[in-house]
Structure 1
Amino acid sequence: MLANKVVLVTGGSSGIGAAAVKLFAKEGASVAFVGRNEAKLKEVESRCQQHGANVLAIRADVSKDEEVNTIVQQTVDKFGKLDVLVNNAGIVRYASILEPNLMKKFDEVMNTNLRSVVHLTNQAAPHLVKTKGNIVNISSVVSTSIKVPGIMCYSVSKAGLDHFTRAAALELAPSGVRVNAINPGPVITDIISNSDLSEEQVRNANPAAMTVTGRSSDADEIGDLILYLASDKARSVTGSCYVIDNGYLLK
């Protein structure tokens, strides 16, 4: 159902984004994907091309306006249209409200996790209206439940993303564009190792212990849900925030 669709995925060089890129490619979609690490971009591109997929790797930082301004246009120039936008790029920065440099970290997280989504949605919306396409935003269960001190910046960015999802869904529905979010619990990716935690803190982190099932999800599990929401199978779904958390919110 995704063959001949054109998909744009941010944060597509690793983790959930990379899993989604590969799954879309296997389904026959043309995929543009964005990341900052050129080596990882090339690795994902190579794996997709093994399936004969038509892909476009875009090296860009979504927190920078001048780079965001080119992402959608590069995709449309390459493939001629846009059917699906997956806003997946995100970072974690740990900061106490009492820290002197709190606002620096807050702005960094908000610019990547929320502002870039608003900006990219604004850029992509006219193209999605033409194709009656849809948007999938990758949020988090911490948008509604904070169990770990120090992740206020990340949590607030995801709470804002949930509400932006609903606002965009309401506004774009008359144009035939659906907008949804996915709220994962712990997922096995490199987002923690790419945070500003110390090596010891990373080693001691045990997110699976926060779930009732005692496990973290694989990135492919989130990718499967992204594909569902992006497909016509979910044609009745808009303005929803789908939780996939191994019971994180139950514990």
Structure 2
Amino acid sequence: MFSSKVVLITGASSGIGAATAVRFAAEGAKLALTGRNLENLQTTAQKCEEKSQLKPVIIKADLDLDDDVKNIINTVIKVYEKLDVLINNAGIFFISNPEDGNMEVYDKIFSTNVRSIYLLTSLAIPHLIKTKGAIVNVSSLAAIRPFALFTPYCMSKAALDHFTRCLALQLGPKQVRVNSVNPGVVPTDIHRRAGMSAEQIQFMYEKCKDSHLLGRPGTVDEAAEVILFLASEKSSFVTGETLLMDGGCHLSSAAL
């Protein structure tokens, strides 16, 4: 399905990004993987190579640094000479709300979850126009459903969804499709890195039995399948969509 396609995935060192990389590798994609943790990126790359016998390009990068972002695109084009698919997966999450007045956390969330994606996408657009490519943004249920103590994160994902719609409107006539996938709770390291305790995380997963209509959290592999679909020709007439992958949580009256 992707044997002639060059796919760039951010946040590919763990979680949804890593699972997505392996899934695209299984379809024969030529991969460029970015993340902050080089060791984890190498682990992901090895798993990808086992699937396709193609060695991914690894780019260690901090998306909060403009020079790193520019280097990502420059490296992809230098190695592969084109770009077909951009997966904006990298993102961070912290417990924070307006009552704590913590602007450092607010700025950090918006820098990674919004600004870096805007810059990386801007740099990628000329190359995606040439290939009539696709962009998939990894958003969240939090973009449409408010959660206490997660205000900056919810705001950042709402901004990402509207970026998806605006960009789809702009790039549609140029045959570049732009969509988002919006997962509900998916067990990854993001919650631990946000400072949640093991007990808090386990409690949240248990609450999914009530808050998610299908009675469980999602999986990284399920998210990867949706991302693959939105990037593929199977969704060739889909653009500007924010596709919920939340086990029906957005319909539930139960709180997380």
TM-score (norm 1): 0.96
Contact kept in structure 2, 1:26 and 1:53, CA below 8 Å: no
Question: Aligned residue for 1:247?
Answer: 248
1:203/1:225 CA distance change after superposition, 3 Å: closer
CA distance in 2, matches of 1:184, 1:39: 26
- Residue correspondence of structure 1 range 193-232 to structure 2 within 5 A: 193-206=192-205, 208-209=208-209, 210-232=211-233
CA distance in 1, matches of 2:216, 2:203: 16
Contact kept in structure 2, 1:75 and 1:81, CA below 8 Å: yes
Residue 54 of structure 1 deviates from its aligned partner by: 3.2
- Residue correspondence of structure 1 range 11-160 to structure 2 within 5 A: 11-51=11-51, 52-100=53-101, 102-146=102-146, 148-160=147-159
Equivalent residue letter for 1:31 = L
Contact kept in structure 1, 2:182 and 2:242, CA below 8 Å: yes
CA distance in 2, matches of 1:65, 1:106: 19
CA distance in 1, matches of 2:221, 2:200: 26
CA distance in 1, matches of 2:139, 2:82: 26
CA distance in 1, matches of 2:229, 2:108: 31
Contact kept in structure 1, 2:45 and 2:55, CA below 8 Å: no
Question: Aligned residue for 1:166?
Answer: 165
CA distance in 1, matches of 2:26, 2:20: 10
Equivalent residue letter for 1:123 = L
CA distance in 1, matches of 2:58, 2:189: 20
CA distance in 2, matches of 1:220, 1:199: 22
Higher helix proportion? 2
Gaps of 5+ in 1: none
Residue 196 of structure 1 deviates from its aligned partner by: 2.4
Question: Between Structure 1 and Structure 2, how many residues are aligned?
Answer: 249
Question: Aligned residue for 2:175?
Answer: 176
CA distance in 2, matches of 1:163, 1:96: 21
Equivalent residue letter for 2:79 = K
CA distance in 2, matches of 1:57, 1:216: 30
CA-to-aligned-CA distance 1:137-167 (integer Å, 9 cap, x gap): 0001111112x31100110000000000000
CA distance in 2, matches of 1:208, 1:140: 15
CA distance in 2, matches of 1:250, 1:20: 26
**SS of structure 2 residue aligned to 1:13:** coil
**SS of structure 2 residue aligned to 1:172:** helix
Percent identity, aligned pairs only, is 43
Equivalent residue letter for 1:36 = R
